Structure 1
Amino acid sequence: MAQAGGSKDFPWAEEVKKELDNLEKAEIGNPKTPLNKTPYLSDEVVDKINEGIKYKYDVALILDSAAAFFGRDNVGLCGVAHFFKIAAVAERADAFVAIEFLNKRGGNVKFGPTAEPPSEDKWHTKEGSDVCKAFVKYLALTKVGYNCAHKLYGQAVKQNDAHTVTFLECCIFESGEKMRELAWFVTHLKAVKGDKHAIKNFDRELECKNCCFAKAAGVEAVVPCKLQIGTMKRKLATETFALSWKFMKDD
């Protein structure tokens, strides 16, 4: 830093020179020498975020397994199946967000082997397809992710890593909102457990809400809802009819 006494030297010359030296040593494409990594992002935090990315992919596969089971022809709970499809895509989207965060901060993204998802028979009981079991499982998975993010948040605060703290605050808030929604579903399903008519009504209501779920998760374009597809077809038919009617009217 510049000394007192009216010196006109650039006060941060030494800090800038140090950063220039580090940038000169950096090799293009070498993951060990990122250009934009700062000392505030520790390797331990990067490893924890990579673990979170792997966890998101593992959860997505579990939800894919649930979606595959409930969408079977001898189960026929299309609303539940589509909900878990949306949830699986949303989990992968969360992983993409974490990947983008590490890329922006100069962290190295490391992918590990994913865990084998449960087979379809895990979602079936003697009484039939257990919808409540699937939602309880998803709620438990979400709570584990929330707890891990909260622990990492405390670590980032201790290291004065403001950027990671802001990122984790968003993750924690979204997980909290998701837990509340899933808790409502679990409460409803436990209240009507064993009532097949109530489960079928729940499935239909869920299909009606899937548009909102996909939109809220930001995956509306990736996993369009059946109702959205139906709306588009109806809109297209209406526009076609309107054009033909106008053509006849002009004649």
Structure 2
Amino acid sequence: MNSLAKQNFTTLAEDGINSQIQIEQTASQVYLAAAAYFARDNVALPGLERFFREQAHENQESAQYLIDYQNTRGGRVEIKQIPEPNTEWTSAMNAIESSLSLEKDVNKASLNLTTLAIDQADPHFFHILKKHSLKHRVQSIEELAKAITQMQRAGGDGLGLYLVDQDIWKHGHFSVGRLGLGGED
């Protein structure tokens, strides 16, 4: 049965949104696994645990936003199976580098979805994507890139890692990634 709300909303757009939902949910699971890793007693980095838990929450919120949007436009949401995430990292630096790669993948998928919205001549869909995810993704990539630089300077382990972790715990994010964005610190 077709939705009465559906207007100028193609099957390609629906499929693209369903794909992006899966990507967001996969990223959320990866970040949740990283949070659990950093919460372990033999890792014990509460700042990184908090950071990754918040990243998981943000990606889950993005997935829910797309689910709600799909329903608003009269599309059909298809929740697909999520691959099992990695649960081990060789170091905090490895986890941050993996996160940067993941954010770039999610951003690329968001950009592809934006291109699809343009190609399908769907200005509402384009506006929603531009407003909701594109700016946030670029900022996340910048924050993680700066976090890698900060961790390299701190030595990536030992006391340097502890100090970086305490700063994350205090601010809720890598503070270097937020400087100059309107004085959020």
How far does residue 155 in structure 1 lie from its aligned partner after superposition?
2.1
d(CA) in 2 for partners of 1:211, 1:195:
18
For residues 197 and 163 of structure 1, the distance between their equivalents in structure 2, rounded to whole angstroms, comes to 50
What one-letter code is carried by the residue in structure 2 that aligns with 1:78?
Answer: P
Deviation of 1:49 after TM superposition, in Å, equals: 0.8
Higher relative contact order (CA 8 A, sep 6+): 2
* Alignment-derived partner of residue 61 in structure 1: 29
**Alignment map for 1:1-251 (pairs within 5 Å):** 32-38=1-7, 40-119=8-87, 122-124=88-90, 130-170=91-131, 171-210=133-172
2:164 partner letter: F
- Letter of the 1:92 partner, please give it: Q
Q: How far apart, in 2, do the equivalents of 1:182 and 1:95 lie?
A: 21
Taking only the aligned residue pairs, the percentage that are identical comes to 26
Give the aligned CA root-mean-square deviation in angstroms: 1.9
- The separation in 2 between residues aligned to 1:79 and 1:194, in whole angstroms, is 14
1:146 to partner: Cα distance: 0.9
Offset, 1:194:
4.3
Residues in 1 aligned to 2:59 and 2:45: alpha-carbon distance in whole angstroms: 21
Structure 1 gap segments, 5+ residues each: 1-31, 125-129, 217-251
Letter aligned with residue 106 of structure 2: G
Give, as a single letter, the amino acid of the residue that structure 1 aligns with 2:2: T
Deviations 1:122-163 (A, max 9, x none): 213xxxxx1111111111111111111112212211221011
Larger radius of gyration: 1
How far apart, CA to CA, are the structure 2 residues paired with 1:154 and 1:88?
26
SS at match of 1:123: coil
Q: TM-score, normalised by structure 1?
A: 0.66
Note closer, same or farther for the CA distance 1:195–1:69 as it changes in structure 2 (3 Å cut).
closer
Give 2:30's aligned amino acid: I
CA distance in 2, matches of 1:43, 1:190: 46
Alignment correspondent of 1:243: none
- 1:240 alignment partner in structure 2: none
